[in-house]
Each structure stands twice: as structure tokens, then as C-alpha cells.
Structure 1
Amino acid sequence: MRTVGIIVEYNPFHNGHLYHLQQSLKITKSDAVVAVMSGQFLQRGEPALLNKWTRTEMALRGGCDVVIELPVAYSTQAAEWFAYGAAALLDATGVVDALCFGSEAGDIAPLRRVARLLAHEPSSFGPLMADELRTGRSYPAAYSGAVRRFMAEAGDEEAAAFPFEQPNNTLGLHYLLALERLGSAIEPFSLRREKAGYAQTSITDAQIASATAIRKLVAESLAPEGAAPFVPPSTMELLLRDHAIGRARGSWEHYAAPLFHKLVSESAEALGRYHEMSEGLEHRIKNALPELESLAFEPLLERLKTKRYTRTKLQRALLSILLGHDKELLSPDRLRTGVQYIRVLGCSPRGRELLKRMRKSAKLPVLQSAARAAKEYPYLALDVQATSIYALGWPDAAPRDLFRDYYEKPISIE
């Protein structure tokens, strides 16, 4: 059974995701899909619209066969470590033959050439990166500029002109870098992203819209029915179900109270020990608090933003504070060791056959429960904690909601 791996957030699963999934099977000539999916909090430092079990069910009903959780230690990171954690999980399953990711360019050849040259961090790249950062650009923009200059010096003009700064192209490059660094046998493929950009908020097609636009539509209408043309019927059913019980609340504002509690109760020195806190950001936060007119998330973000401190950078930093992620636990050395387990969130009938193979071929323990393993694996403990904090954003959360990781079995569909 040839198997393709995909790396997803599904926030929520929509028609564009369905197209990507179906085309991934087609272009890689695969029979099954293993998805590595972010949990309760996502790569841009945001809470998911729907919890990870609902999104797992969406994925399975959309055609995925096995859904594996990308730990929050990786799912809330910048592109390099997000990609590394996800690729390492796919490689560790021992059953994934190909990786198919979406990109704005759809052309994988320049990305592969760059990945082969940069995978082991040549000494000439560091000075280029430092030079770009000195201009005051954000890290992603500086990285793209350094890559262009590096490839131009290597004589690869096509790669030097490649639009690395586009978000899916950036992620694609980091997936390839991760596969190179892992020495993985997984074969990579790329599919051009069509009709809606990654963060496009406007809707310009009758059936395809970005997840960002769909979430905006749901939030502005205060009802999910408007999303119906852009999502499969199964997604609509689950979105309506969770919305009806107050479980579709993917906004930072629902976490403002616990966040501000930490911001005002901890010293600048204590804030500085959290992951993503750098360049005196802790002092900037402390100085901004008395100047706010309301204790809401958006005014705080607007007060903190600069050319260097982008919205995404700030969201990740504030999320690290909310989740209590310290720098040591999420240091590059710790992240580089990779995930120590494979957490299964759900499977289809074909997926159950894959899991049987995986238990024999996987390089890591395959977990279907967090009840006992959280004490053994620090990153799994962070996921359990993330679920508890995520549930605090619900209007009537019960203790069982906070500790659902201990009770919930993998989602199974027939």
C-alpha cells in the first residue's frame, strides 16, 4: 500500500484541502493518506477554530486514513521547526513513501536545489543572514533575501529569482530541508495552490476560499452557515454541531483574561524566560500595558507591533506566555532531537491496516492514549496542558473538557 504524507492544520477542512488531498493521492500514485495535523494551537500563534478531535473527524471524513498529532512544541513554531517536527513524524512512521505539499509556485525543482545546498548550513550562509537581519527586516523576509543571495552566488539564477517569501513556498523549502537533514527516503512532491492565497481574506471564487476567509466569514456572520459553499458537507455538519454548543471559538479574545493575568502578575524577568521572547520584548510588553485603553488582545497586539515584531511573531510570543513554554524546553537543541512518540488522533478502516504496519515499522512508540504516557514524554505533557488552556476559551467548560486528552480515544470512522 503506497502512502502519501501531508502536513495540515485544517482550520477548518475546506474544498481547497479536499482538492489537495485528492490530487496528492493522484500525483504520488498512492493508495492511502497519513496526515500530520496541528493540535489546539496553530503555526501562526493562534487558537484553532475547532478542537483537534473535531478537525480529526473532518480529516477522516474528507479522505485521510491516519491522523497524527503534531505536538504543540512544533505546531506553534516558525517554519523551520514546524516543518522539521512534521517531517520527522512522517519519516518515523515507517509507512510513508511520499510527501505532497501545496505551494504558490508548484515547482519543486528550485526548492530541492536550495535544500540540498543549505541542508547542512554552509558557513557562507550565516553572514548573508546576519547582513539581511541588520536591515531591520523580519526574520522570514531576511531569510528569503539571504537564500536569494546565496543561490545567486552559487550561480543558480532561477533559484535566486524564486519567490521564497510566499508562505507556502517558505514552508515547502523547510519541508525539503527537514527531509534532507533527516536523511529520509520520503519522496517529495508539490502541488500549486489555486484560487485562494494562504492568508487571503477576500472570497473570489464560488467554491474555493482560504481557511482565513472562511473563519472571517463565520466570525462576522456569527453563524457558520455562510461557509457552506466553501466546505464539504461533512465539515459543515461538524461545524454546525460544535457551533451549537459553543465550541467554535477560535479567537484570541477568548483567552485575553488568562493572558493578561500572566502579563501583569509576572515580572519582566520572568516573562523573558518564555520561548520566543527576545530583544527586550518582555520590557516592551510591560511598558505597553499601562497605555492600553482596554484589556483586549487586538489593542495589545497593535501597541506592540513594529517592522521587526510582526503580528505572527508577537502571537507566537504571547502564546508561549499563555501556555507556559520556557526557552529551555523548546530550545533548538531539544527540538532537533525530534518528537519521541507518534500520537494517533484517528483512523479510517484503511488506516487501521496502516496502523498494524506502523506498529512494526515505526521508529518511535505509537500512542493511542495520553493517560499514562504524558509523564514519560515532556512534549506530550505540553499537549495535555494546551488542551486544558484551550478549553478555558469555551463559555461552559467542564473539568472533563480540560482533561479530555486523558479520556478521548482515537476517532474511528467506518
Structure 2
Amino acid sequence: MKCLRTVGLVVEYNPLHNGHKYHYEQAKRQTGASAAVAVMSGHFLQRGEPALVNKWARTEMALRAGIDLVLELPFVYAAQNAEQFAYGAVATLHATGVVDSLCFGSESGDISWMTPLAKSLVNETALFQREIRQHLATGISYPAAYGRAVEALFSALPDFKTAGNVTEPNNILGLNYCMALARLQSSMKPITIQRQKAGYHQEEITDARIASATALRKITMEEGSLDGIKPYVPASTLDVLQEEKQSGRFPMSWEAFYPHLQHQLMIRQPGELAEIYEMTEGLEHRIHRSARTAGSFRALMEAIKTKRYTWNRLQRLLLYTLFGLTREKMIRSGFRQGPAYIRVLGFSETGRELLKTMKDTCALPIISKVKKEKHPMLEFDLQAGAIYALGYTAPVRQKEMQREYEQSPLRL
């Protein structure tokens, strides 16, 4: 097969909307790519929350929107801070051996400041982390500490510049994508496209065609209907969501998992909770105490939220608790060594050709079907599928429990 110029995307598609479609189209146009590979989070996402619909439904959205190959970002990276999330995603794309460029959205839309700053951050990792910790000690949030650390360490450099606020969520992710490229010494070329008309966390809708995924999820939860999101998503996305709704698999939210989380918090003493991955500074006492009186996930979050900890950080921490994910278990997963495999979720005809090429170029084992022998990292993905199924009502729950083992990659 003749080599295709291929662009890589890092996505969650929760759900896939018109802004995502714009990003995909611009990525292909600006890179001249003939094919697109997306590495996509599974059932649980970077903000520490369950996806609105399962990964198979979101894979179908991606394929029907034009993506050629959808690969799963392992759970141990998907529900992580920006640095680990970005590294896992970029390392996955890099390992395929077929991706030429990496295109991501950002608030600034300017790559010229990201790449040199990312290289500086990579070279000063220990110093940078120490600077962040010093700012965190003053009681500010991680994004604010991150921005101050960047300014403190690099603003005096002659060529230092940023385009917009470095603490904006997609700018931070963009920097970490570029840092991952530098660490991997990857030949993938980074390209960024400016977010259009809706911010990452923006809940209000200010445009006739573009709205954030946050706003769309809010509409579906509040209205219990898909009518309100029709103008903001491709017809194929709406079709998939309608099918999931009819099948009893939509919508999913943290509230569906709260009884299971509360159970985990009740059977563990604070000392046991202290072993949970990323549990720090006595948060286990605050969480354990609040869980006894909080009647909902939202109530628990509001009880434990402080200025110091972002909503996303706390959600991730509660997700690790739901999984019983301790520091020891996380280390055993091998996440610090990078992704251990590439799991295929779906492909088009062009994607099938890419997979053929990857048999020669891919640096990692390619998984299309789960086998008896499994890497510890994959065990977490399988566990995520079973836990996600707990959010469904019977009889859907029982059927979905085995889907990780039975479902073949989707083919368009």
C-alpha cells in the first residue's frame, strides 16, 4: 500500500459536535492528510467523569464523521492529569508508525510559542515541578500554580512569549502534547487550531451552530431530550445518541455510580483511603466524613470542594476511589513506561489499510480482541468496562458486563 499522509487527533467526543467536525476538517486541510487516526478515551474521561455514552457509541460517531482509525487511550492515561493524559495519547499515536502530524485545538491557535516553551519545560522538569509545588503551597489551584511557574521560570528568556493565557485548559494540554513529542523525540509535526465560538468549560450557548460539549451534556441532562442539541451536532451523532437512548444506554452521569462510590467510601477507613492514587494532604478525612451525609454525587462534590482543588482533580480522585485504585496498583500497571499495547476500537476501509501497514511499522502489540493473557494495563480497561456497565439498569447491565470481551472493532 502506498503510504498515506496521516494526521493524528486526541479526542473524547463526549459527544462529537460541530466544533469537533470543524477541527477534524481543518486538521486534514492544514496538513494535507488523506487519513485521520484518533486516539480516544474509553468509558471514563480526563475530567474524572463517565462518558455520556459508551466508547463504542462514540467510536461510531467518530467513524461516521470521517475518522479512519479509532484507538483507545488506556484508562491509566485517560483519567489522568494533563501531563499523563497527553503523554499516553501522543505515545500511542507515535507508536503506530503511520501518523505524520498531530493536530489539537487550543485557545491561542498559535504553535509558535508552544514548541519552544515545551522544550524548555522538558529540560527543566524537576525545577518546574518544584516551582509548581511552591505555588501550590500558597493555596492556589493547580492551573494557577502552573501558569505562575511558567512565568517565574521562563519569562526572563529573550524569546519567551505566550499567545493568550497559559492556564487555559486546551493551552495547557497543547503544551503537554508538545512536551510529549519532545520526550519521545517524535517526528510527528504539531499543529494547533484555535477553538471557535465556545470555551472548554462554557455552559451557555452563544452561537447558532457551535456549542461546547459541556453545554450539550447539560442540555441533555436537564431536558431529558435530544431536541435541544440538534443544531449543534452532526446528524450522525444524533442518530447514534437516539439509538443509545432507545437501548437504555443514554445518558450516563456520575449520579448513576454514586451508590457504588458511597459504598466504597463507607467500607474504607480514612487510613485506607489515604492509599488511593493521588490522595494527598488529608483529603481522605474530608471525603470520608462528607460521604456519610451527602445524598448525591453533586452534594458530595460541593461538600469537599475548596479553592485549592479543582473540580476535575476531585472528580478524578473519586473515580480512583470507585475503582479502588491505589498507588501500588497504579505503579504495577506500568504507566510510567508508556502504553503497552494499541487497542483498536473501529476503522473505515482506509483505516483497514492503515492497520495493514501498522503490522510492519507499529512498535507495540495491536489488540483487536481480548485474549486470555493480558497486560496489567489492559486489566484496568476491562475493569472500566465492567464498572461503566454498573451505571445501566437491568437487563442492559448484564449484557454490557461482557462487552469488553465480545465486541469486535467497529467497521464502517
TM over 0.5: yes
2:381 paired residue number: 383
| Cα deviation 1:135-154 (Å, max 9, x = unaligned) | 21112221111012211132
1:250-274 Cα distance to aligned partner (Å, 9 max, x none): 2110001100000001111211111
Q: For 1:181, which of 183, 208, 215 is the aligned residue?
A: 183
Cα pair 1:73 1:379 within 8 Å, conserved = yes
Q: 2:410 is aligned with what amino acid?
A: I
Match 1:143 to one of 123, 128, 146: 146
Report how far residue 82 of structure 1 moved: 0.3
Instruction: Give the AA of the match of 1:402.
Output: M
Cα distance in 2 for partners of 1:122, 1:324 equals 30
Q: Among 239, 256, 259, which residue is 2:258 paired with? A: 256
Report the CA distance shift for 1:330/1:120 in structure 2 as closer, same or farther (over 3 A): farther
- Quote the RMSD (CA, aligned, Å): 1.5
Question: Which residue of the partner structure matches residue 402 of structure 2?
Answer: 403
Provide the rounded CA distance (Å) in 1 between the counterparts of 2:312 and 2:145. Answer: 15
**One-letter code of the match for 1:205?**
D
TM-score by length of 2: 0.96
User: Hey, what's the Cα distance between the residues in 1 that align with 2:125 and 2:89?
Assistant: 24
Counting only pairs closer than 5 Å after superposition, residues 71-110 of structure 1 correspond to structure 2 as: 71-110=74-113
SS at match of 1:300: helix
Q: Once structures 1 and 2 are overlaid, which stretch shifts more, 102-111 or 332-341?
A: 332-341
> Distance in 2 between the 1:6 and 1:205 partners?
25
> Which residue number corresponds to residue 342 of structure 1?
342
Q: Deviations over 1:116-157 (max 9, x none)?
A: 111133554344323312221112221111012211132344
CA distance in 2, matches of 1:123, 1:381: 31
Residues 282 and 328 of structure 1: is their aligned pair in 2 closer, same or farther, counting only changes over 3 Å?
Answer: same
Q: CA 1:333 to 1:54, structure 2 compared with 1: closer, same or farther past 3 Å?
A: closer
Judge conservation of contact 2:343–2:366 (CA < 8 Å) in 1. Answer: yes
- Partner SS state of residue 318, structure 1: helix
Partner residue, 1:213: 215
Correspondence list, 1:60-79, <5 A: 60-79=63-82
Alignment-derived partner of residue 241 in structure 2:
239
| Per-residue CA distance 1:301-355 (angstroms, 9 max, x = gap) | 1110111122111100000011222212324994220111000000000000000
Q: Which runs of 5+ in 1 are unaligned?
A: none
- Aligned residue number for residue 170 of structure 2: 168
Contact 2:391 2:397 in 1 (8 A): no
Q: How does 1:3-402 map to 2 (within 5 A)?
A: 3-121=6-124, 124-159=127-162, 162-290=164-292, 292=293, 294-331=294-331, 334-372=334-372, 375-396=373-394, 397-402=396-401
SS, match of residue 330 in structure 2: coil
Secondary structure of the structure 2 residue equivalent to 1:330: helix
Letter matched to residue 180 of structure 1? A
* Residues 153 and 57 (structure 1), Cα distance of their counterparts in 2 relative to 1, 3 Å cut: same
SS of structure 2 residue aligned to 1:228: helix
2:75 is aligned with what amino acid?
V
5+ long unaligned stretches in structure 2 = none
The CA distance in 1 between the partners of 2:277 and 2:353, in whole Å, is 39
Does structure 1 retain, via aligned residues, the 8 Å contact 2:333–2:377?
A: no
Change (3 A) 1:157 1:177: closer
Q: Helix, strand or coil for the counterpart of 1:108?
A: coil
Q: Percent identity?
A: 48
Structure 2 CA distance, aligned partners of 1:325 and 1:74? 13
CA distance in 2 between partners of 1:386 and 1:153 (Å) = 45
Amino acid at match of 1:411: L
Corresponding letter in the other structure for 1:304:
I
* TM-score (normalised: structure 1): 0.95
Gap change, CA 1:228 and 1:126, over 3 Å in 2: closer
May I ask how many residue pairs the two structures share in their alignment? Answer: 408
Q: Aligned to 1:6, what secondary structure does the other structure show?
A: strand
Moved more, 251-260 or 217-226: 217-226
Alignment partner of 2:166: what SS? coil
Looking at structure 1, the residues matched to 321 and 104 of structure 2 have their Cα atoms a distance apart, in angstroms, of 31
Question: How far apart in 2 are the matches of 1:345 and 1:199?
Answer: 27
Contact in 2 for aligned 1:371/1:405 (Cα 8 Å): no
